[in-house]
Amino acid sequence: MSAVGGASGGSSVGSGGAVGSASAVSSGDAVRSASAASDVWRFAARRAVELAVTLLAASFLIFSAVYLAPGRPETFLLGGRSATPEALASIRAHYHLNDPFPVQYWRWLTQMAHGDFGTSIQYRAPVLHLLTARLPGTLMLIGMAAVLVAVLGIGAGRLSARRPGGLVDQAVLVVTSVAVGTPSFVAAIVLIWVFSVRLGWFPSIGSGSGFFDMAYHLTLPALALSLYWVGTLARVTRAAMLAELSKEHVAVARSRGIPERIVLRRHVFRNAAGGIATMSGLTITGLVVSTVLVESAFGLGGIGAFLDSSVSVKDFPVVQAISLLIVTVFVAVNLVVDLTYPLLDPRVRLGARNSA
C-alpha cells in the first residue's frame, strides 16, 4: 500500500471492472487501518526522540551563548561595590564559575534532567518557583492573544477571500499591512496612549488579580501582542483560500448549484485549513517570544519581562531555563500541528515520510 495512497497510487487500485477493483479496495482498507494505528505510535516515538535531541542541542547553544556573552554575574552580585580578590574568588567558587566550560555545562544539564532548574542569582530563590509564580499571567496573555489572532486573523482572511479585489479585500489588505508593519512595543505605546491615557478605558500597568480582573488588565497587552500576528494570519488565510478558489473542484461545486457560502466554507476554507494550521502553530511560538517586549512595555510581571530583566543582570539559570522553555513550546506546538494534519487532509498519513 503506498504511503500517501492518493495522487499517483490511486490508479493502481484497479482499472479492471467495478467488481475487481471493489475487492482490491476492501483488502486495502484492512491493511490501511492496521498500519495507520502502528503509524501513530511510530510517529509519536520518533517525535519523542526528536524532541529530546532538539532540547539537547538547544540547551548546548543556550548555555554557550550565555557563557560567551560579555559581562560577569559576580559584578551584579556585588552590586557595584568593590570586593577583595578573596571575596570575589569565594563567590566564583560558590557558583562554580571557575570550572571549565564542559564541566559547568554537564553539571547544569544533569541538574535540569533531574528537574532542578537551579537558583536565581538575582533573587536567590529556586528558578522553578520564580517561573511558576509568573506563569499564569503569561499563559493568560498568550491565550487571549491567540484567541484574538484566531478570530480576527482568520475572520479577516475569510472576509477578504469572499470577493478578491473587492472593497472589503482592499480594506483588509491596507489594515493588515499596517498591522504587520507595526512592532509590538510601538503598538503597546499607542494603545496605552489612546485607551489608557486619553480615554481611560483600560489600565496601563499591572496584571490584576482574579480571572476577570486579569482579563481586563490584559486586554491592551493582548491587543498589542496579537496585532502583528493578526495581520500575518489574515494574509496567509487569504492567500491559501485564493489558491484553493482557483481549483477545479470549486468550479465543479459551483456548477452543481451548491450555494456560494457553502462552497466557501466546505470547499475553500476547509481545504485551505492545512496551511492555516501551520501558520497558527508559528503564531503561538511567535506570541511566546513577543511577550518579552509587551510585558515589559505594560509592566506585567510575567515570564517575558522576567527573561528581559534576567538577561540584563546576567542571571544565568533563569535565562537558560526560560530559553529552554521557549524551545520546548516551539517543539510541542509543532508536534500538535503535525498531529492535526491527518485530520485536516485524509491524504496525509503520519509517518508517511518514513515509508514513502
Partner 1 sequence: MNTAQRSQTPQKSQTLHIRGLRVSLPGTARPVLDGVDLEVGAGQTVALVGESGSGKTLTSRAALGMLPAGATASGVVEVDGQDVLTMDARALRRLRTTTAAMIFQDPRAGINPVRRVGDFLTEALRTNGAADKRTARKRALALLDAVGLPERVLRQYPHELSGGMLQRVMIAASLMADPVLLLADEPTTALDVTTQAEIIALLRDLQSRFGTALLFVTHDLELAAVIADRVAVMYAGRIVETGPAEQVFADPKHPYTAALLAATPRLDAPAGRLAVIPGRVPDLRTEIAGCAFAGRCAHAVDACGQERPETAAVPDRSQATVACWRSSTLTLQGGASRG
State the nearest-atom distance from the C-beta of 346 to partner 1, in Å: 4
State the nearest-atom distance from the C-beta of 290 to partner 1, in Å: 33
Q: Which residues contact 248 (CB under 8 A, 6 or more apart)?
A: none
Tell me the CA distances in angstroms from 281 to 107, 167, 229, 338, one per residue in order: 33, 30, 11, 10
User: What would the grid cell of residue 143 be?
Assistant: 491565550
Tell me the CA distances in angstroms from 179 to 114, 222, 224, one per residue in order: 43, 14, 10
Q: Which is nearer to partner 1, 35 or 219 (CB)?
A: 35
Residue in this structure with the C-alpha cell 493588515, named with its chain if needed: 176
State the nearest-atom distance from the C-beta of 252 to partner 1, in Å: 4
Q: Residue 191: which of 207, 202, 179, 180 has the closest Cα?
A: 202
State the nearest-atom distance from the C-beta of 156 to partner 1, in Å: 23
Sequence letter at residue 146:
A
Q: What angle do CA 118, 137, 198 make, to 5 degrees?
A: 135
State the nearest-atom distance from the C-beta of 13 to partner 1, in Å: 5
Q: Is 97 helix (H, G, I), strand (E, B) or coil?
A: coil
State the nearest-atom distance from the C-beta of 343 to partner 1, in Å: 10
State the nearest-atom distance from the C-beta of 159 to partner 1, in Å: 20
| Beta carbons of 13 and 28 less than 8 angstroms apart | yes
- DSSP letters of 119-188? B-TTT-SBHHHHHHHHHHHHHHHHHHHHHHIIIIIIHHHHHHHHSTTSHHHHHHHHHHHHHHHS-HHHHH
Greatest distance between any 2 Cα atoms in the chain = 93
Q: Which is nearer to partner 1, 94 or 247 (CB)?
A: 247
State the nearest-atom distance from the C-beta of 134 to partner 1, in Å: 42
Q: Which is nearer to partner 1, 129 or 347 (CB)?
A: 347
Q: Which is nearer to partner 1, 7 or 68 (CB)?
A: 7
Q: Is 339 helix (H, G, I), strand (E, B) or coil?
A: helix
State the nearest-atom distance from the C-beta of 266 to partner 1, in Å: 7
Phi, psi of 7 (to 5 degrees): -30, -55
Cβ of 79: how many Cβ atoms within 10 Å? 7
Q: Which is nearer to partner 1, 79 or 346 (CB)?
A: 346
Q: Which is nearer to partner 1, 107 or 266 (CB)?
A: 266
- Under the rule (CB under 8 A), what is the footprint of partner 1? 4-7, 9-15, 17-19, 21-22, 25-26, 28-29, 247-249, 251-260, 262, 266-267, 270-271, 344-347
Alpha helices (H) in the chain, listed in sequence order: 18-68, 73-77, 85-94, 101-113, 127-148, 155-162, 167-181, 184-191, 211-245, 248-255, 260-262, 270-297, 303-312, 316-344, 352-355
Q: Which is nearer to partner 1, 86 or 248 (CB)?
A: 248
Q: Which is nearer to partner 1, 338 or 345 (CB)?
A: 345
Q: Which is nearer to partner 1, 26 or 84 (CB)?
A: 26
